[in-house]
Amino acid sequence: MLHTTENALLRRIAVEQAESRAPSLVAAVGRGHQLPWTGARGKVDGATPTTDTQYRIGSITKSFVAALVLRLRDEGRLDLNDPLDKHVPGTAFGAVTVAQLLSHTSGLTSESPGQWWERAAGADWSALDASLPADAVKHRPGAKFHYSNVGYGVLGELVSRLRGASWLQVLEAEILKPLELTRTTPQPTAPAATGWAVHPYADLLLPEPTPDAVAMAPAGQLWCSVLDLARWNRFVGGDTGDVLSPDTVAEMREPVHIDDDASWTAAYGLGLQVMRINGRRVVGHGGSMPGFLAMNLVDPKTGTGAVLMANSTAGVPIGALAADLIEIVEQHEPVLPDEWEPLAEADPRLLALTGQWNWGPTPYVLRLLPDGWVSLNPVSGRGRASRFRPDGPDQWTGLDGYYSGETLRVCRTGAGAVSHLDLATFVFTREPYGTPDAIPGGVDEQGWRTRQS
């Protein structure tokens, strides 16, 4: 990374640490598989924090729990549309679905009843369950986004029930060890920062408690070093190792419900926050617990990401700061596009399908992509466009846009010649309304006319 870029990044966190009066702050920027920059300001136990210093990451814990749930889904152990009662029977809200819990659309209350759970010693699942009567559902399930820490306590119990071990044991075996996250733990292990509250009107500090949340721990228990959090940020961006398929993580990144109805700058997927900042779509998660703030954000399109952690209860705009670090890197050192190279091989049958196709009178272009993928885009650049992944002979599955998940098929005559394309019942022909037998409703016998009559 250029010295000018490094200086700009360091200055940005230095200004924020000073102006926000953060006792300490650590940050890292990643680009693809690389971690070209880390920085720190302030003091932990009288010294500048290092890349090994742990901070509490709060609600970023939720994205780890969500990954455990998606692993169960991918194994066929559950369906995201399953009601909770199928896997954790007996609750007062058993009709809410797994997907609704993941996306904060279950309607469940935001906080567990009783004492402020972030500052009080937690209790086990039976106590949490007993504290949640039917009126713990504050909104009709699926109706709106309502952030629920309780919902992730419930998901931690779901993971435990289906795996036959605590969610922390499952986390260690299925995520932390495979990704070599050796400094991610449920309790702090030295070196670790003390969590502080900063007096609003004087430069004074007050230590904050860090109790074990027990059944609520899946909502915000974990501690992490900046190196570990940077590796997790790569996971969110698509470098998933053997933990989940990149397609599954991409599914987690897709918005399920928006948080701000007016302008759509913030949304929530399956355990991940989605934001639009300065025209850039970034994903990750923020975290806050008494004494700590944290954020991981990555732009999946460019692979540039930033993580930050501070040991302050409030006052540090951690999300905006992470977004600024990404923007600094992209402005100083924009990612170069991959060099164009010709295809290594091309199936002649697929090559014969390329070129113009028409959906009624609207021309589209089908292009051949690597590995037998194809794209189908309107010639005008406006309208429904999608990429398609091969799913068998003469068949593909849509990956994005309107046709995501839909099937594209090549329809052939009895002699094997290509007749038309069928995309979710929409017919594409070589000529506008060509192949009349394939057009639903038929084609007028007089064909195209010179005037209205």
| pLDDT tens digit at each of 453 positions of the chain | 999 999 999 999 999 999 999 999 999 999 989 999 999 999 999 999 999 999 999 999 999 999 999 999 999 999 999 999 999 999 999 999 999 999 999 999 999 998 899 999 999 999 999 999 989 999 999 999 999 999 999 999 999 999 999 999 999 999 999 999 999 999 999 999 999 999 999 999 999 999 999 999 999 999 999 999 999 999 999 999 999 999 999 999 999 987 666 677 889 999 999 999 888 999 999 999 999 999 999 999 999 999 999 999 999 999 999 999 999 999 999 988 889 999 988 999 999 999 999 999 999 999 999 999 999 999 999 989 999 999 999 999 998 889 999 999 999 999 999 999 999 999 999 999 999 999 999 999 888 988 886
Report, at the CATH architecture level, how domain 348-438 is classified.
Beta Barrel (2.40)
Within 13 Å and on the Cβ side, how many CA atoms surround 381? 0
Residue 38 CB-density burial (10 A; 0-12 exposed, 13-18 middle, 19+ buried): middle
Within 13 Å and on the Cβ side, how many CA atoms surround 449? 7
Sign of CA dihedral 326, 329, 331, 336: negative
134-154: buried (b, 16+ CB within 10 Å) or exposed (e) per residue? eebbeeebeeebbebbbbbbb
For 3-332, CATH gives: 3.40.710.10
pLDDT of res. 192: 98
In the chain, CATH 2.40.128.50 sits at 348-438
Q: What is the largest CA-CA distance in the chain?
A: 88
In the chain, CATH 3.40.710.10 sits at 3-332
How far is it, in rounded angstroms, from Cα 53 to Cα 51? 6
Could you tell me the two tokens for 223?
Answer: 């501690």
Q: Helices then strands (H, E): number in the chain? A: 10, 20
pLDDT of res. 258: 79
How far is it, in rounded angstroms, from Cα 127 to Cα 147? 21
How far is it, in rounded angstroms, from Cα 283 to Cα 261? 18
| pTM check: above 0.85 | yes
Residue 320 CB-density burial (10 A; 0-12 exposed, 13-18 middle, 19+ buried): exposed
DSSP-assigned states of every residue in 177-207:
TTTT-TT-BSS--SSBPPPEEEPTTSS-EEE
pLDDT of res. 453: 66
Q: Which residues lie closer than 8 Å to 201 by C-beta, 6 or more apart?
A: none
pLDDT of res. 260: 66
